[in-house]
């Protein structure tokens, strides 16, 4: 059939890497992903998929892609193979080769996004090719999202739209071919304290924001200890929730009373720790530790955050993935889009060919030896849940 018009796997990855799609909190570095999803859409349409591009609200240069190979069955069955199309920024001058030109050396494919996670898409297409002429009972859906590396805006837009509808989802993040059934959540928060500046020789002339922040930090550390006493999950390498004091800025001179300071911190909650509950507790405790009416404290998230994720280890999806990979399901500390698919009623795992220690690094690569095993795993999953 017309699938011969689709480039081979390496050429697909070469074209995807050559299409920059950096997402960054810095507007000067941030890009769209339309070029990437349009490439994928063209190839998938050639294979017989029905393709829809969904621009993000107010950002026409960024879009999700939903490509569906329809099944004969009815209802909301089927399998989603999902990945994000954006990459992080790259370190100028630290790459041995152009990050946007795929290079093959040392039995590896080097390029920005090769492992995190543009490399997943050609593998998914290769697996899908085996089924385009077969009578699927349930749909096979290949999903590509925008802005995972920053705001998760693509995944949030899908949840809001209630799409796609399916029974199972595989998120192809780099897991070293091991199925992942749970990961921690991610929160990044800020505490801003406004006092009153004045001459340091007379403390009564002002209200020291740094001293108030000292109290706030003490409260955060106390809360961290309480959380770590209250919550524990031995399935994680670090079995407790973490709270990291990341950066602090404030004041302008040693002989002035500090009038303003800001602290930014990171929380990694375990499954069973909803973000709304944690933020309500943070807000209450932080405001409760400041009694000085001259001091104003503001607490706010830096981004919406991502919930922790857990899929029942005894579910059919996890057991099938364990059998196909030969690995028992594990946990990871990094966050993914998995909880968004889970929230839409899909059994979900994270499973991909790359390694997380290659992600966000100069000279990022995907090992060639990982490609065919991952294709075979995806073929097995498609056969199980779509045929």
Residue ranges of E strands in 210-274? 242-250, 260-268
**Structure tokens given for 256:** 């002035």
Cα 40 to Cα 29, 83, 124, 171, 209: the distances in Å are: 23, 12, 11, 17, 52
Half-sphere exposure in the Cβ direction for 99 (13 Å, CA): 23
Closest C-alpha to 198, from 142, 149, 255, 241: 255
> Longest C-alpha distance within the chain, in Å?
84
Rg (CA), the chain: 24
The gap from C-alpha 326 to its chain's centroid, in whole angstroms, comes to: 25
User: Where do runs of H (alpha helix) occur along 34-132?
Assistant: 34-46, 120-129
- Rounded CA gap, 207 and 105, in Å? 61
Q: Helices 275-288 and 209-230 meet at what angle, rounded to 10?
A: 140
Report DSSP state, residue 146: S
Whether omega before 164 lies within 30 degrees of 0, making that bond cis, reads yes
- Rounded CA gap, 117 and 159, in Å? 21
Question: What phi-psi label fits residue 251: left (phi over 0), alpha (psi between -120 and 50 degrees) or beta?
Answer: left
Residues annotated as part of the active site: 86, 148
- Rounded CA gap, 167 and 133, in Å? 22
Q: Would the CA dihedral through 95, 174, 279, 245 be positive or negative?
A: negative
Report DSSP state, residue 57: T
- Rounded CA gap, 273 and 270, in Å? 6
């Amino acid at each position: 059939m017309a699938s011969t018009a689709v480039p081979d796997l390496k050429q697909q990855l070469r074209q995807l890497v050559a299409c920059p799609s950096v997402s960054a909190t810095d507007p000067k570095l941030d890009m769209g992903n339309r070029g990437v999803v349009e490439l994928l859409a063209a190839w998938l349409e050639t294979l017989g998929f029905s393709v829809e591009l969904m621009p993000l609200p107010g950002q026409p240069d960024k879009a999700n892609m939903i490509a569906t190979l329809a099944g004969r069955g009815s209802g909301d069955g089927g399998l989603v193979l999902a990945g994000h199309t954006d990459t992080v920024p790259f370190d100028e001058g630290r790459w041995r080769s152009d990050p946007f030109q795929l290079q093959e050396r040392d039995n590896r494919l080097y390029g920005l996004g090769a492992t995190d996670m543009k490399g997943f898409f050609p593998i998914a297409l290769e697996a899908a090719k085996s089924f385009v002429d077969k009578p699927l009972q349930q749909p096979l859906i290949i999903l590509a999202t925008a802005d995972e590396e920053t705001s998760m805006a693509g995944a949030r837009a899908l949840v809001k739209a209630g799409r796609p509808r399916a029974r199972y989802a595989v998120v192809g993040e780099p897991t070293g071919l091991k199925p992942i059934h749970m990961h921690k959540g991610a929160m990044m928060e800020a505490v801003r304290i406004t006092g009153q500046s004045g001459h340091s020789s007379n403390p009564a002339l002002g209200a020291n924001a740094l001293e108030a922040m000292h109290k706030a930090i003490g409260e955060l550390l106390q809360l961290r200890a309480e959380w770590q006493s209250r919550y524990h999950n031995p399935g994680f390498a670090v079995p407790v929730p973490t709270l990291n004091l990341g950066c602090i800025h404030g004041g302008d001179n040693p002989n002035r009373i500090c009038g303003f300071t800001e602290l930014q911190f990171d929380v990694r909650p375990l499954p069973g720790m909803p973000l709304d509950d944690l933020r309500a507790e943070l807000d209450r405790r932080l405001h409760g530790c400041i009694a000085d009416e001259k001091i104003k404290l503001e607490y706010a998230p830096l981004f919406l955050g991502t919930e922790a994720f857990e899929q029942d280890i005894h579910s059919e999806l996890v057991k099938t993935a364990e059998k196909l990979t030969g690995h028992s399901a594990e946990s990871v500390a990094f966050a993914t889009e998995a909880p968004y698919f889970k929230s839409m009623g899909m059994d979900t795992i994270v499973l991909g060919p790359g390694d997380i220690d290659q992600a966000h690094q100069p000279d990022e690569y995907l090992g060639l030896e990982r490609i065919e095993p991952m294709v075979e795993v995806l073929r097995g999953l498609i056969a199980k849940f779509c045929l």
